[in-house]
Amino acid sequence: MMRRHALGLLLAASALTAAAPAAFAAETAETVKVGLVLPMSGPFSQYGRQMENGIRLFLQEHGDSVAGKKIELVVKDDGGIAPDRARRAVQDLIVREKADVLVGFAFTASAMASAPLAKGAERAMIVTNASSSGITSASPYMLRVGQTLPQITEPAGRYAAEQGYKSIYTLVADVTAGHDAEAAFKRGLTAGGGEVAGSLRVPAQNPDFAPFIQRIKDARPDAVFVWLPPGEATINFIKEFNQRGLAAEGIAMLGTGDLTDELTIEATGDAGLGVVTTGHYSMAHASPENEAFVKAYLAAYPKDKWPNFLAVSAYDGMAALYLGLEKTGGDASGPALAAALAGASWESPRGPLLIDAETRDVVQTIYVRKVETLDGRLSNVEFHEFPESRDSAVH
Amino acid sequence: MTSVIGVLFDGLAYGSLLFLVAVGLSITMGLMNFINLAHGAFAMIGGYFSVWLTQKTGLPFLATLPFAFFGAGLAGLAAERLLFQRLYKASHLDQVLFTVGFVFSSIAAAHYFFGAGQQFVSTPGFLQGQLRVAGVDLGKYRLFLIAVVILLTIALHLMFAKTRFGAQVRASVDNQDAAAGLGVNVGLVFSLCFALGSGLAGLGGALGVEVLGLDPTFPLKYMVYFLLVVVVGGAGSLRGPLIAALILGVFDVAGKYFIPQAGAFIIYVLMIALLLAFPSGLGGRRA
Amino acid sequence: MTLHEPIAIGRLASPRPRLAEILLWLTPAVAYFLFPDNLALGVSIMTYAVAVLALDLALGYAGIVSLGHAAFFGIGAYTAGLLTIHGWREPLTGLLIAGAVSLCAGFLGSLLVVRGKDLTRLMVTLGLGLVVFELANRMSGITGGVDGLSGIDVAPLFGVFEFDLYGRTAWWYSYAVLFGVFVFLRVVLASPFGLSLRGIREGGKRMPALGASVESRLRVAFTLSAGLAGISGGLLAQTTQFVGVDSLSVPLAAEFLVMLVLGGTGRLYGALAGTALFLIARERLADLNPVYWEFWMGVLLMAVVLFLRGGLVGALARLWARLRPASEGGAR
Gap from C99 CA to chain A (nearest CA, Å): 20
> Which range of residues forms the domain containing residue B22?
2-277
Could you tell me if residue A5 is inside a domain? no
Least CA distance to A41: which residue of chain B? B108
Domains of chain C, earliest start first: 7-331 (1.10.3470)
Same domain, yes or no, for A62 and A94?
yes
The arithmetic mean of pLDDT across residues C205-234, rounded, is: 85
Q: What is the pLDDT of residue A19?
A: 39
Q: Does the distance separating the beta carbons of A175 and C137 come in below 8 Å?
A: yes
In sequence order, the β-bridge partners of residue B119 are: B214
For residues C274 and B181, give the distance between their C-alpha atoms in angstroms, rounded to a whole number.
Answer: 41
From chain A, the residues in CB contact with B253 under 8 A are 208, 210-211
Q: Does the distance separating the beta carbons of A263 and B14 come in below 8 Å?
A: no
Q: What is the pLDDT of residue C16?
A: 61
For residues C168 and C161, give the distance between their C-alpha atoms in angstroms, rounded to a whole number.
Answer: 9
The side-by-side arrangement of strands in the sheet containing A101-104 is A65-66, A69-77, A31-38, A101-104, A124-127, A142-144
Q: What is the pLDDT of residue A23?
A: 38
Could you tell me if residue B285 is inside a domain? no
Q: What is the pLDDT of residue C118?
A: 81
The count of structural domains within chain B is 1
Work out the mean pLDDT of chain C and round it to a whole number.
87
pLDDT at residue A361 greater than cutoff 70: yes
pLDDT at residue A9 greater than cutoff 50: no
Q: Which residues contact B161 (CB under 8 A, 6 or more apart)?
A: none
pLDDT at residue A341 greater than cutoff 70: yes
User: Any long-range contacts for C315-318 (C-beta under 8 Å, 24+ apart)?
Assistant: C315/C264, C317/C6, C317/C8, C317/C9, C317/C264, C317/C267, C318/C3, C318/C6
CB atoms within 10 A of CB B280: 19
Could you tell me if residue B287 is inside a domain? no
Same domain, yes or no, for A96 and A126?
yes
Residue A269's pLDDT band, with cuts at 50, 70 and 90, is: confident
The arithmetic mean of pLDDT across residues C296-313, rounded, is: 91
pLDDT at residue A304 greater than cutoff 90: no
Same domain, yes or no, for A100 and A128?
yes
Length, in residues, of chain C: 332
The count of structural domains within chain A is 2
Interface of C with B in 235-264 (CB under 8 A): 250-251, 254, 257-258, 261-262
pLDDT digits (tens, 9 = 90+) for A144-176: 999 999 999 999 999 999 999 989 999 999 999
**Which amino acid appears at position A366 of this protein?**
I
Kindly report the CATH number assigned to the domain that includes residue A160. 3.40.50.2300
Could you tell me if residue A69 is inside a domain? yes
Burial B149-185 (b: 16+ CB within 10 A, else e): beebbeebeeebeeeeeeebbbbbbeebeebeeeebe
Gap from C59 CA to chain B (nearest CA, Å): 10
Could you tell me if residue B222 is inside a domain? yes
B252 touches chain A (CB under 8 A): yes
Q: Does the distance separating the beta carbons of C257 and B276 come in below 8 Å?
A: no
From chain A, the residues in CB contact with C38 under 8 A are 92, 96
Which of A40, A82, A175 is facing C291, going by the closest CB pair?
A: A40
Could you tell me if residue A106 is inside a domain? yes
> Helices in chain A by DSSP H: which ranges?
2-27, 45-62, 83-95, 108-120, 149-163, 176-191, 210-219, 232-243, 288-300, 309-328, 334-341
For residues A259 and A279, give the distance between their C-alpha atoms in angstroms, rounded to a whole number.
Answer: 10
pLDDT per residue as tens, chain B (287 positions): 678 899 999 999 999 999 999 999 999 988 888 999 999 999 999 999 999 999 889 899 999 999 999 999 999 999 999 999 999 988 889 999 999 999 999 999 999 999 988 998 888 889 988 888 888 889 999 999 999 999 999 999 999 989 999 999 888 888 888 888 888 888 999 999 999 999 999 999 999 999 899 999 999 999 999 999 999 998 778 889 999 999 999 999 999 999 988 888 999 999 999 998 888 888 765 43
B124 touches chain A (CB under 8 A): no
Q: What is the DSSP letter of C149?
A: B
Could you tell me if residue A85 is inside a domain? yes
Same domain, yes or no, for A235 and A291?
no
Which of B137, B141, B211 is facing A207, going by the closest CB pair?
A: B211
Interface of B with A in 178-217 (CB under 8 A): 210-217
> Helices in A284-333 by DSSP H: which ranges?
288-300, 309-328
Interface of B with C in 265-284 (CB under 8 A): 265, 268-269, 271-272, 275-276, 279-280
* Least confident window among A34-38, A226-230, C28-32, C125-129: C28-32
Which of A45, A204, A239 is facing B116, going by the closest CB pair?
A: A45
Could you tell me if residue A65 is inside a domain? yes
Phi-psi region of C250 (alpha: psi -120 to 50; beta: other; left: phi over 0): alpha
pLDDT digits (tens, 9 = 90+) for B27-36: 998 888 899 9
Q: Does the distance separating the beta carbons of A202 and B256 come in below 8 Å?
A: yes
Same domain, yes or no, for A188 and A53?
no
Same domain, yes or no, for A183 and A168?
yes
Same domain, yes or no, for A384 and A262?
yes
Least CA distance to C42: which residue of chain A? A88
Among candidate residues C22, C58, C44, C83, the one with its CA nearest the CA of residue C227: C58
The complex scores an ipTM of 0.91
Could you tell me if residue B282 is inside a domain? no
Which of C37, C41, C145 is facing A175, going by the closest CB pair?
A: C145
Q: Which residues contact C237 (CB under 8 A, 6 or more apart)?
A: C76, C77, C78, C80, C81, C84, C98, C149, C152, C243
C304 touches chain B (CB under 8 A): yes
Q: Does the distance separating the beta carbons of B102 and C298 come in below 8 Å?
A: yes
For residues C66 and B193, give the distance between their C-alpha atoms in angstroms, rounded to a whole number.
Answer: 29
Same domain, yes or no, for A104 and A124?
yes
Same domain, yes or no, for A105 and A208?
no
Could you tell me if residue A22 is inside a domain? no
pLDDT at residue C329 greater than cutoff 80: no
pLDDT at residue C211 greater than cutoff 70: no
Same domain, yes or no, for A41 and A96?
yes
Query: Which of A50, A107, A112, A129 to substitute to test the interface with C, most C CBs within 10 Å?
Result: A112
Gap from A217 CA to chain B (nearest CA, Å): 11
Same domain, yes or no, for A195 and A231?
yes
pLDDT at residue A37 greater than cutoff 50: yes
Gap from A365 CA to chain B (nearest CA, Å): 28
> Which range of residues forms the domain containing residue A104?
28-147+286-360
B19 touches chain A (CB under 8 A): no
Same domain, yes or no, for A87 and A48?
yes
